[in-house]
Chains A and B, each alone.
Chain A
Amino acid sequence: MTDQQPGHGNCLLEVRGLTKVFGELRANDGIDLEIKSNEIHALLGENGAGKSTLVKMLFGSLEPTSGQIFWKDKPVRITSPGQARALGIGMVFQHFSLFEALTVAENIALSMDQDVSIEGIAEQAAVLSREYGLPLDPHAHVADLSVGERQRIEIVRTLLQNPELIILDEPTSVLTPQEADRLFETLAKIRAEGRSVLYISHRLEEVQRICDRATVLRHGKLTGACDPRLETPASLATMMVGSEVKSVSNAGGAITDEILIETRNLSAPARTPFAVSLKEVNLKVRRGEIIGIAGVAGNGQSELFDVLSGEETVPDPDDVRICGTGVGRMGISARRLLGAGFVPEERHGHAAVSDMTLSQNMVLARHHSDADVFLTGGPLKIIRYDAVKKASERIVREMDVRMSGEDPVASSLSGGNLQKFIVGRELDRQPSVLIVNQPTWGVDAGAASRIRQALIDLAESGSAVVVISQDLDEIFEVATSIAVLNEGALSEAEPASMMTLERIGLLMGGIHGEDTKVEAQHAH
């Protein structure tokens, strides 16, 4: 930026006392924030700390209850994303809004305010993507692209608006380590041009690596503003969660030879054009073992989960075996009766019904396995809510689920607390087999460490656990062996102690047409 005014502290964006109230809840309470020109500024906080609310107000999707936003030292009122873009604020959302059936250029065109021809956009996009080291084919269909490439579309389409401030919401949560490195290079380039970046994350290591300053939120309030490079991960985490995060201890229980989960050359065709087919997956998990299945999102994780849980069945019973029984054709309820527990990735609308209370959500997963306690006998099957409530209170106590009211609806809980309940719901049954998909996705650090510790404890007590996760730190923290899922094929599981980040990155496969991919194929 050329028009820096030292007298005004060269603030690009300044926020004073910004407050947003939803009913009783003060989602943001008097937040102050300064983003200077030419900096990468981190916004840190647990889930539910108010990061999204703050960013939505900056991007014009929410109107503040009180407080003031200054853009280049002038007070502004941002009432719509269009206006935010006009000011020079661009945003890359965590969840992409792309049409899979359209090409890259068409998707970009859809987001442009002015009329430009698709060809013109394709050219501009190609130029930009070269400049910023974001290789992207404007004519490729989005459905064929990896998550990393999709994110590049979002970044390129934001850059096309020529913004002075770019907001990135948890950008690395979907990337391989190699893809994340490239993103960091791009961000450095963006800063070098005089633009600023507001970088939202809960990964302390990367914040320390690339960010110049950090603002930390907790429970909607500002708890710290610092230079992350001068802090330790522990001190940053303390600002985020208010107390030291308990680190996970993995003593490693005895692993026996008894195989509790097994798949034999399990293949399953893709159910929809955008789904992934499973290709001869061989998996063996023994008693006491935790297998971590790494991989970038969209490589067959949910498909694998569905065939393991029985939400999708396969024709040959012996393709999936749980506790020695061929369960390929059994539904999820029958598999639960064998002692299996399941935690799917999506909390709302899969693991739980958002508008139902916790005790109703208790019935959801356990009406069959706990029928003798939760239901009266006979054909009427009357739900005994007194027994159900007792059980859900037990889980709330056991997993330290924070909530308001006696038996609130699932949607009123924060992501982390609902996830603790959902995991606790399965652990409470002492399952001999537990299969979890993204156990701590979008969960705050405190809840995440609690959930991970619970998985380790379960394995130590003699269960077999499968953890499907995109979070490599998590995989290394909990797994005894690690396998990688790439385009529906599972690599051989290797002991966690022998795995390295680089090796996993290679197995994950990089972006189409890049060296990493070729190497990954050699590695097989």
Chain B
Amino acid sequence: MRIELEKRPAHSALFSMLSPFIALGLTIIAGAILFTALGKNPFDALYSFFIEPLTELWSLHELLIKAAPLILIAVGLSVCFRSNNWNIGAEGQFIMGGVVGSIVPIYFHEWNSFVVLPLMLIMGMIGGALYAGIPALLKTRFNTNEILSSLMLVYVAELFLDWLVRGPWRNPEGFNFPESRSFNDSAVLPELFPASGGANLGIVFALIATLLTWFMMRHMLKGFEVSVLGQSARAGRFAGFSSTKMIFFAFLFSGALAGLAGISEVSGAIGRLQPDISPAYGFTAIIVAFLGRLNPLGIFAAGIILALTYLGGEAAQISIGLPDKVARVFQGFLLFFVLACDTLIHYRVRLVTAIKARTEGEGAS
């Protein structure tokens, strides 16, 4: 007996819907096996991973804080991926957005004005976009592989940030800690409901970006152009669309959203620059984008699920003493199963039985 994959004549709408859920189910099963292997009760572990963070109001706030950057970045990436451009460097664009957006509150730290925050956000978007423009330029000019160039630029951004906060931007009153000055009040992203927890405007930005991007992809010629060029560059050229312009559009768009996520995180959740401003949001967002089927509305839901794994990781660390790396393993499982389950959309799994195999043997003789 053997297993065969048979190509479906048309892709299955049913499995298109189901595949993220199957992937989620398989991740939970694999996670349970992992916890058992670590000597923990899998039910306790899954409870503290997925349920516990949802039981208290403050941790729901935390969920939104974690979900906002994931959604912002992933929505940008979905446009990029749909146009068949593979920006893997959103983490770097996130960092550069945080860095460029912090110029104002660090150099003009005594400037209190309502324009400070909008200025920071715009500069953050520009910073992320320009940084994403580098792989786009390299791809259009020299035909370099954007996967490699965008990925490698992540490490450049990380080291650049590290150097800034240890060197020129270190807080002169900060006892030599590698941190910038704390931002003043007008440079901090306001909280939504300060009475119950810390969720800030970031989640609102994420919601707006989701809806606008959905509208663009669904109704506007620009979204149509993205899909056409992503599916067939040749047909795109026949339609009079330019692949080169699309490469820039896709990278600048996703870079700007990653940059906005970066400065929102720095300004809202952290309040200053420090060497470590992202628990790999830019990479996790790739999982979010695919789990959400590259559809902005799906991405919003997927962002919340992935944010839960971050919180669950912390909760499991505290309540049952699981190492925090388990959360990353979990995210890895999820991406793996999401990509694997996508096979079901285009292929049917078929068991070829032993009886058939035997008649084949006879036929050959």
Contacts and interface: CB of A to CB of B under 8 A. Distances in A.
A353 B228 contact: yes
A509 to B, nearest CB: 28
Contacts of B10: 23, 409, 411-412
Interface stretch (A78-86, A184-192, A472-480, A514-522): A78-86
Nearest to B240: A333
The bracket for how many chain B residues form the interface is 20 to 34
Interface string B350-365: 0000000001101110
Nearest to B222: A381
Interface stretch (A36-44, A134-142, A364-372, A488-496): A364-372
A355 B231 contact: yes
A358 interface: no
A409 B363 CA distance: 39
A367 B360 contact: no
Contacts of B234: 346, 349-350
A76 B240 contact: no
Given A368-B240, A382-B219, A383-B220, A83 B235 contact: no
Interface string A22-38: 11010000000000000
B207 to A, nearest CB: 20
B220 A380 contact: yes
B364 A83 contact: yes
A239 interface: no
A409 B10 CA distance: 10
A176 B343 CA distance: 43
Contact of A77 (B9, B237, B240, B360): B360
A408 to B, nearest CB: 10
Q: Is the interface of A mostly helix, strand, loop or mixed?
A: mixed
A353 B9 contact: no
Contacts of B9: 22-23, 25
Interface string A389-431: 0000000000000000000010110000000000000000000
B232 to A, nearest CB: 4
B245 to A, nearest CB: 12
B317 interface: no
Contact of A83 (B237, B238, B359, B363): B363
B38 interface: no
Contacts of A367: 221, 224, 239-240
Nearest to A333: B240
Interface in B42-80: none
Interface of A: 22-23, 25, 75-79, 83, 86-87, 309, 311, 331-333, 336, 342, 344, 346, 349-356, 360, 363-365, 367-368, 375, 380-383, 409, 411-412
Given A79-B363, A331-B240, A383-B221, 12 more contacts: A76-B363, A77-B359, A77-B362, A332-B239, A336-B240, A349-B232, A352-B235, A355-B231, A364-B239, A381-B220, A383-B219, A412-B10
Interface of B: 9-11, 219-222, 224, 227-228, 231-232, 234-235, 237-240, 359-360, 362-364
17 contacts: A77-B359, A77-B362, A77-B363, A311-B237, A332-B239, A342-B238, A346-B234, A349-B231, A350-B235, A355-B11, A355-B231, A356-B227, A365-B239, A367-B239, A367-B240, A381-B222, A383-B224
